[in-house]
Amino acid sequence: MVSIKDVAREAGVSVATVSRVCNDSGVVSDSTRQHVLDIAAKLGYSPHGAARSLITSRTSTIGVLLPDLYGEFFSEVIRGIDRAVGEAGYHLLVSRSHGEEREIVAAFRAMRGRVDGLLVMSPDLDARNAVNALRDHFPVVLLNCPSERDQHDSIVIANYDGASEAMRHLVEHGHRRIAMITGLPRNYDSVERLRAFRDITREAGVSRENAIEVGGDFTEASGFRAGQMLLEASPRPTAVFAANDSMAIGALSALRSGGARVPEDISVVGFDDIPMARYMNPPLSTVQVDISALGVRAVERLLGHVRGSHDGARQRELVPAHLVVRSSSGSPAA
């Protein structure tokens, strides 16, 4: 691999001059500058990133720790992160974890010296300790992670508020037997959305046996299975709130297969408003979150820290979530 020395030797100048040319730093005569540029191009030289960041102590890279979850939601978040990072001239080093403390610590160690800051998206409740441990080592911003207020810089979706809106919508339309398809039990978003389900049903005077909870894992397949189970329930619920759109769509499919009409027989409401939601049949009522804004804001906050322009206050920022009523929900049949 051709290094700065090779260019210097070939061009008949010192490595310092080549460095100056490459970085537009210092003053170099136009003639030598052009000469060096020519030689560099001829040799196909490009600076060695690791060596450069060793001396400058900047990597122009931010790390992102992702959970082992898939689907449109994460794809959209990453898209937002990636766009913001790219516009700032940074790169993205990604690592995935299953939320286990050991794994998170390992990922952190691997990131040391390769990133200027870390974006942690680990909605698993068990991850809390690991995240606490690493926060002093370099700038960290938490994305939709469980965290005590003021403990970290964090961005979270207004899960509870959004889910409450969805549930009130159903209750106000007269539903009194409502099911929730929950997400993973140790998942932060899941827990918060479920909490709203329980609170609002209780407030509305819905008995515990009329507030049905069915377990899911955020996938379409689990939503489909949950939908099948709900068809068997007697009496059937008149409304279903799914912890995300993927499960809502799976449930929609199961309900239809079982001959139930949506929304006449059963209303369905999701969460996230993934791009596909409005194209469902019927178009899905759901809680809208500006998903990519979530990523963008997180990057902005992190880069603030990295560049030192941030005042170091540990803030928790809430990304709003509001219900969008489409055609999959309405009043129960008389």
Partner DNA sequence: TTGTATGCGTTATCAC
Partner DNA sequence: GTGATAACGCATACAA
Site residues for DNA per CB under 7 A: 1, 3-5, 12-17, 19-20, 22-23, 25-29, 31-33, 45-48, 51-52, 54-57, 113
Q: Please, what is the minimum distance in Å from the beta carbon of residue 267 to its own copies?
A: 16
Going by the DSSP 8-state scheme, the letter that residue 97 receives in this structure is: E
Strand residue runs (E) in 40-90 = 61-67
Q: What are phi and psi of 152, to 5 degrees?
A: -140, 165
CA distances from 171 to 190, 199, 332 (A): 20, 12, 10
Other beta carbons within 10 Å of 61: 17
Cα distance from N-terminal residue to C-terminal residue, the chain: 76
Q: Please, what is the minimum distance in Å from the beta carbon of residue 281 to its own copies?
A: 4
| Pairing of β 285-289 and β 321-324 | antiparallel
Q: Please, what is the minimum distance in Å from the beta carbon of residue 200 to DNA?
A: 52
Nearest-CA neighbor of 62 among 135, 119, 120?
A: 119
Cβ distance to its own copies smaller for residue 117 or 250: 250
The binder of 25, among its own copies, DNA, none, by C-beta within 5 to 8 A per type, is: DNA
Q: How far from chain centre, in Å, is Cα 228?
A: 29
The binder of 219, among its own copies, DNA, none, by C-beta within 5 to 8 A per type, is: its own copies
Q: Please, what is the minimum distance in Å from the beta carbon of residue 306 to DNA?
A: 17
Cβ distance to its own copies smaller for residue 52 or 198: 52
Q: Please, what is the minimum distance in Å from the beta carbon of residue 31 to DNA?
A: 7
The binder of 20, among its own copies, DNA, none, by C-beta within 5 to 8 A per type, is: DNA
Binding site for its own copies (CB under 8 A): 1, 44, 46-54, 59-61, 70-72, 74-76, 78-79, 82-83, 86, 91-96, 108-114, 136-138, 219-221, 224, 246, 249-250, 252-253, 256, 275-276, 278-281, 283
Q: Please, what is the minimum distance in Å from the beta carbon of residue 253 to its own copies?
A: 4
Distance, CA of 238 to CA of 235 (rounded, Å): 9
Other beta carbons within 10 Å of 215: 15
Q: Please, what is the minimum distance in Å from the beta carbon of residue 210 to its own copies?
A: 27
Distance, CA of 81 to CA of 70 (rounded, Å): 16
The binder of 280, among its own copies, DNA, none, by C-beta within 5 to 8 A per type, is: its own copies
The binder of 33, among DNA, its own copies, none, by C-beta within 5 to 8 A per type, is: DNA
The binder of 12, among its own copies, DNA, none, by C-beta within 5 to 8 A per type, is: DNA
* Amino acid occupying residue 136: D
Distance, CA of 70 to CA of 133 (rounded, Å): 26
